Structure 1
Amino acid sequence: MTHRITLIPITPDNELDCIKLSPKEDQMNLVASNADSLIHATRELTSKPYGIYFDQSMVGFILFDQEIYHDGYYWILRFMIDARYQGKGYGQLAILEVINQLRNREDCRQIRVSHIPCNTAANRLYKKCGFVETGEFEDNGDIILRYDAPIPSSMR
């Protein structure tokens, strides 16, 4: 079976579907609610929120940079898969799709993501997608991981 994941921008037409998604009960303290993430997205001028779709169903949410400042880092700022759709590989496919969209941009040196230290499932998922720990931490203690993007041939 071939899985088809699509990232579709969050708009007024699909915003309520996004807000209704939530992780498993024991994961509520690991990720922000999608309602909070959509509010956060309005303050992140370089990023854009997307629904993660499998076929016609929204199965998750992701917020990631569409442009950078000056450091060559693109960030995945928020990410979640709804409880009903976890364990089906959609999270990995979504992260790989973001990597695919960002890694060949001329200005992309790294894709970065962070998570709270006790979220070992997120850590395993990111590492499975090619991220490695940087040894750095966010001010709030979150672990920072990086995916090193290849240097475009035009810049070698």
Structure 2
Amino acid sequence: MSQVTLKKITSENWREAIGLSVNVEQQKFVAAVTPPVAIALAKAYIRPDGKTVDPYGVYQQNIMVGFFNLHYTPDSKEDYWLFHFFIDKRFQRRGLGSAAIDVLIKHIKDTHLFCHRIRLTVHPENDAGKKFYTRLGFTDENILTYGEPTYSIYI
């Protein structure tokens, strides 16, 4: 697996994040708008449902290769959600997604001490995404959130 790091999106790296994209056929799996980071950054500002929303860049050797939002209620045990996770189309199929999830889980364990579950949704037609998350230890909760299957992992 490739070494990756996470960095919060700030005024210094947001333009780099906006430049990330996925293949056309993957777009609906990440966000309803292009570029997908645009809606994710808007959510960080708007804070849907009153949650804290932290946008992160996924980096490999100082190059941003991916993105996600972490939505959560501070100090909760189970209200941590991963949204808009993707690896840029130029860097896919290199193990960076798996490495990023591993680093994210470690980051949450280190910085959100009360958290013991991370949740996410997968577009119903995203079979590759379902296999990816299942392979990493996420399980299908057999419930829909925002019309999509919900997966979770206990950490």
The Cα offsets for residues 35-81 of structure 1, whole Å up to 9 and x where unpaired, read as 11111121234221011001111001011146436453311122111
2 CA distance for matches of 1:133 and 1:86?
A: 24
Residue range with higher mean Cα deviation, 103-112 or 35-44? 103-112
Match of 1:153? none
Written as runs of structure 1 = structure 2, the 5 A alignment for 1:23-34 is: 23-32=22-31, 33-34=36-37
TM-score (norm 2): 0.86
2:120–2:151: 8 Å Cα contact kept in structure 1?
yes
Matched, 1:91 2:94: no
> d(CA) in 2 for partners of 1:23 and 1:76?
17
- Indicate if the aligned counterparts of 1:49 and 1:62 stay in contact, CA closer than 8 A: yes
Amino acid in the other structure paired with 1:88: R
For 1:15, the equivalent position in structure 2 comes to: 14
Q: Does 1:37 align with 2:40?
A: yes
Name the counterpart of 1:61: 67
Q: Which has a greater percent of helix? A: 2
For these two proteins, the number of residue pairs brought into alignment is 147
Structure 1 gap ranges (5+): 150-156
Q: Alpha carbon RMSD of aligned pairs, Å?
A: 1.8
Higher relative contact order, structure no. (Cα contacts within 8 Å, ≥ 6 residues apart): 2
Structure-1 separation of matches of 2:115 and 2:80: 7
Match of 1:126 among 115, 123, 133: 133
Provide runs of 4+ in structure 1 moved above 3 Å: 65-71, 103-106
Verify the 8 A CA contact 1:103 1:111 in the aligned structure 2: no
Per-residue CA deviation, residues 71-118 of structure 1 (Å, 9 max, x unaligned), is 533111221111000000101111111111224644213110111110
CA distance in structure 1 between the partners assigned to 2:138 and 2:5 by the alignment: 21
| Compared CA separation, residues 106 and 56, structure 1 to 2 (3 A) | closer
The letter for the 1-side match of 2:3 is R
Q: Which runs of 5+ in 2 are unaligned?
A: none
Structure 1, 17-26 or 93-102: larger mean CA deviation: 93-102
Q: Supply the distance in 2 between the matched residues of 1:61 and 1:30 (Cα, whole angstroms).
A: 14
From the superposition, tell whether residues 5 and 67 of structure 1 become closer, same or farther in structure 2 (CA, over 3 Å): farther
Question: Max radius of gyration: which structure?
Answer: 1
